[in-house]
Chain A
C-alpha cells in the first residue's frame, strides 16, 4: 500500500515534551515538513529560544543552536553573515521576542537580515509558569496579572507583525493561527513560503503564529481554541502585512 502520510525526515521520533493542546509541536512539524519539501535539511540551522521551546533542538534533525533569551535574531545575524549559504530559522515565543528581545528583532528586521523568524504568540509566559507577556490581552489574568491586565498600569499588548511592517526591509510578514484546519494549512504555507524566500536570498521573513496554551490559560484544549477565536484573534487580526511577491497587498 502506498504511504500517504509520514513523519517528516527533519523531525525525529522523540515524543514532544509539550503539554496537551500546546501549539509548539504542531509548528515544529510544519517547519520540518517545509524543510523537507524544499530540501533544505542539509543547510538548515535552527535557533531554539528560551521558553517552553528551549529544547526545540531535541526534535529537529538539523544543525541547532540554543540562544540566550530574546537574542535569537542577533545569533541568527551572526550565523547567516558567517555562512550565507545556510538557512537560518529563529524560533521564538512572545516573552522571548516581544519583551526581552525587542531590540534584536526590530534591528534584524530593519537590516533586512536574510533569515526566517517563526514567532509563537500565545499571550503568556509558558515555561516560567504563566506570567503576563507583552502580548497578554487587556483583562487577561496571569500569574503576575491576577486581577487581569490593567492597561492603566500594564499598558496594552504589543502587535509585533504590525510594528515590523512599518519597516522597509522586511520581505514577508504574515500572522496566522492554529485554531482550525484552514488556518493550520495557511500557517504551513506561510512557513514554507518564508523559507523559500530566504532560500532565494530575498531577505527578512517573519511568521507570527497565534497558538494555544491551555495549561497556562487554565482551560482544556477545546476551550483554548474557543478562547483563541473569541479573544486572541480579534486582538491580533490574521493577515499578510508584507509580501514582496505581491507588492500591492496591505493588511
Chain B
C-alpha cells in the first residue's frame, strides 16, 4: 500500500524498519524532518534511542560508539553539518565500522542557503575527511528511492563494514510522493566477531584505526582497498535510459535526472538520439558503462546542480575519447528540461 510521505520522513521510517533504532543528529535545514521524525518514533521502540547531539561532530561520534556494539545506527545532516562530520566519517572508515550518514545537500559554500544543490558531490565521493578511505555514496532520485536506498545503505554498510552515505539534494528531502514502505527488515549480519559488547567468554575486542609502524599501516590501507575494489566490482549501480542508440549521452543523478529524462524525451521528439545515464552509486561510479557508451556517443553532457563536480568523473570514465560538456544551475535553481535541451543543441 502506498502512502504519501515527505522524502525525509520516508527515509526515516525506512531506516527504522531496517533496524536502525539509534539516531544521533543535530538540527540543520533542509533535513530537520529526519531528526524530528526519529525523536517521535524511537522513544516508543524497545531499545531505541534518539539524542539531539551538541554538535554534528558529537553526533557522528555517537554513531561511532553505537555501531561499535554491532547495532545499526545513523545520523543525518546537510552540507555545513556534513563538513563537521567528515572527521568522524574518516574514523568510521578507518576502524571499519558500518554506519549510515544521510546528506541532504543545500547550497554552498559557507553558510550558503537552504535551497537544494548537488555541490557536495566532491565532499561525498572524493574523501571529505582525511586519509585513504572510500565512502559508499547512494543517490536517490525519488521518495521511493529515499526509502529503498536507505535500506540498501544499511545492508552495504554491514556487508562491507564501511560507512555508507545516502546523498540527496534538498528537493528530495522536502518533496512528497507516494511511496511503498518496506516491511520490517532485520539486520541479518553477524558482528559478534568484532563488536564490543563486553568480553564475556572470549578475549577482548579492540576497535581502533591507529597503526604506528609504516609497514603495518600500509598493509592495513591495502586491506581496506582490497575491500573497496570488491565494492567497485560488485556494487556499482546505475540506470540507463534510451542509451542503446544514443549519440548524445546526458549524465545526471538525483532530482536532476528527472529533469533530464523529460529533456531526453523532448530531444527524441526533435529527432536527436539522446539518452541518459543515471548513476545510483556516486561511488563506486559507473565508469565502465560510460566508457562503453563512449564508443557510440558523439558527446556527453553532465548536468548537475553545481558548478560541475560529477562532470570530472564523466571525464575520467570517458578517458578523453569524446567531448564532455557541462550544464548546471546553482544556488537552489533547478535546471528546466528546456534549458537542458538548449544546452544539448548548442553543442551539436
Residue A167 at the chain B interface, CB threshold 8 Å: no
Comparing B119-127, B195-203, B340-348, the segment that makes contact with chain A is: B195-203
Residue A68 at the chain B interface, CB threshold 8 Å: yes
Residue A179 at the chain B interface, CB threshold 8 Å: no
Tell me, in angstroms, the Cα distance from A66 to B68 when the chains sit together. Answer: 10
Partner of B58, one of A45, A54, A104: A104
Comparing B47-55, B134-142, B249-257, the segment that makes contact with chain A is: B47-55
Comparing A25-33, A57-65, A191-199, A239-247, the segment that makes contact with chain B is: A57-65
Closest to B87 in A: A68
Per the 8 Å Cβ criterion, residues 34-80 of A in contact with B are: 41-45, 47-48, 54-55, 57, 60-68, 71, 74-80
Interface residues on B, range: 35 or more
A66 to B207, Cβ gap below 8 A?
yes
Per the 8 Å Cβ criterion, residues 31-72 of B in contact with A are: 49, 51, 53-55, 57-59, 61-69, 71
Tell me, in angstroms, the Cα distance from A44 to B59 when the chains sit together. Answer: 23
A75 to B61, Cβ gap below 8 A?
yes
Comparing A81-89, A180-188, A224-232, the segment that makes contact with chain B is: A81-89
Q: How many A-B contacts are there with CB distance less than 8 Å?
A: 137
Per the 8 Å Cβ criterion, residues 64-118 of A in contact with B are: 64-68, 71, 74-83, 85-87, 103-104, 106-107, 111
A77 to B65, Cβ gap below 8 A?
yes
Chain A residues in 8 Å Cβ range of B71 = 82-83
**A66 and B63 in contact, given A54-B210, A79-B68, A83-B69 (Cβ under 8 angstroms):** no
Chain A residues in 8 Å Cβ range of B59 = 74
Closest chain-B Cβ to A32's Cβ sits at a distance in Å of 12
Residue B320 at the chain A interface, CB threshold 8 Å: no
Chain A residues in 8 Å Cβ range of B205 = 63-64
B62 to A86, Cβ gap below 8 A?
no
The CB with the most chain B CB atoms within 10 A, among A71, A79, A82, A104, is that of A82
B51 to A81, Cβ gap below 8 A?
yes
The CB with the most chain A CB atoms within 10 A, among B51, B59, B207, is that of B207
Partner of B204, one of A48, A62, A79: A62
Chain B residues in 8 Å Cβ range of A66 = 95, 206-210
Partner of A75, one of B62, B87, B197, B206: B62
B69 to A71, Cβ gap below 8 A?
no
Tell me, in angstroms, the Cα distance from A78 to B61 when the chains sit together. Answer: 7
Chain B residues in 8 Å Cβ range of A74 = 53, 57-59, 61-62, 64-65
Closest to B207 in A: A65
Task: Mark A residues whose CB is within 8 Å of B.
Answer: 41-45, 47-48, 54-55, 57, 60-68, 71, 74-83, 85-87, 103-104, 106-107, 111
Given contacts A45-B68, A75-B65, A104-B61, 16 further A-B contacts (CB under 8 A): A42-B198, A45-B198, A61-B204, A65-B207, A65-B208, A66-B207, A68-B61, A68-B64, A76-B65, A78-B63, A78-B64, A78-B68, A79-B65, A81-B51, A82-B66, A82-B71
Task: Name 16 interchain pairs, CB-CB below 8 A, sorted by A.
Answer: A41-B199, A42-B198, A64-B196, A64-B204, A65-B68, A65-B206, A66-B207, A66-B209, A78-B66, A82-B65, A82-B71, A82-B73, A83-B71, A103-B57, A103-B58, A104-B58
